[in-house]
Structure 1
Amino acid sequence: MLGLFISAFISSTIAPGGSEAVLAYLVNNQQYAVTNLVLVATIGNTLGALTTWWLGMWAAKKYPAENLLTEKQRKSLHTLRHWGSWALLFSWLPVVGDGLCFAGGWLKLSLISSLLAIFIGKALRYIAVAYAFI
């Protein structure tokens, strides 16, 4: 299960990973309880996303959005600001999810709300993956 945690953590940062494949393999192997596997994957993936969120918050201190972004990019940030932490429910999406987490930190969205939205979104994704391989 440590391998699943590490894979899930890495998959949720900027680095590519395949935590869904690891989860599917372990679910199919039936060595561990599915709920434990989903929980380990969700926690690892959530912590990876929070790392990206924190990097966004750190970047905002040195590079304010208003000074760096094009008009289109500022409009995208405005949309994210409008939806707030709820937009982070989609942090599980490939490519886009990492950007959402980074932008959430950059916009200094509430840490607790961001954590909750990220956790829920990622849990639902891993539940769907696990269910497909039961």
Structure 2
Amino acid sequence: MSDWAASAALAGVGASAFLSATVLPGNSELALSAFLYKWPDWLWASLAVATLANSAGSATSLYLGRLAPKKELPPRVARWFGRFGPAALVASWVPLVGDALPLAAGWLRLPFAPCLAWIALGKFLRYAALAFALRLA
């Protein structure tokens, strides 16, 4: 396979990762796993693309949360963010629950840059763990 094919497949990983960070299904872990199976030498490029695209999807949710009318959050969510602040977003990689965390952070008007940094860290750690597990398999 050519570099062109790998680049096109990597774009697919990016699209899947972006969609996975929203409420839409994207299956980014499956896309990344398939990509790394075919092109294991592209490890760092694929981790960068998946992390950046998935973080961009969460940043979109963060922004949309800022546009929502401000109301009371459920007490459990408010306590979570009250205790951890933007660092709570390191858990934004968790399936289902993680999609709502950036929305809630935007709703609370938490500072954008720290939120994005914690989101990206969580996303990278998840994808790196997946890639490491694949290498051991």
Q: Distance in 1 between matches of 2:77 and 2:27?
A: 28
After TM superposition, the score normalised by the length of structure 1 is 0.88
Structure 1 counterpart of 2:21, one-letter code = S
Partner in structure 2 of residue 65 of structure 1:
71
Q: Distance in 2 between matches of 1:52 and 1:111?
A: 11
Structure 2 counterpart of 1:46, one-letter code = S
Which runs of structure 1 show a deviation greater than 6 angstroms over 4 or more consecutive aligned residues? none
After TM superposition, the score normalised by the length of structure 2 is 0.87
Are the equivalent residues in 2 in contact too, given 1:65–1:74 (CA < 8 A)? no
RMSD: 1.3
Distance 1:31-1:132 versus aligned 2 partners, 3 A rule: closer
Q: In the comparison of the two structures, how many residue pairs are matched? A: 126
Higher relative contact order (CA 8 A, sep 6+): 1
Partner in structure 2 of residue 76 of structure 1:
77
Instruction: Report % sequence identity.
Output: 37
Using the TM superposition, name which of 31-40 and 46-55 deviates more: 31-40
1:32: Cα distance to partner?
4.8
Q: Distance in 2 between matches of 1:122 and 1:92?
A: 6
Structure 2 counterpart of 1:89, one-letter code = V
1:21: Cα distance to partner?
0.4
Once the two structures are superposed, what CA deviation does each residue of 1:31-50 show, in whole Å capped at 9, x if it has no partner?
Answer: 65101100000000000000
1:118-133 pair list within 5 angstroms: 118-133=119-134
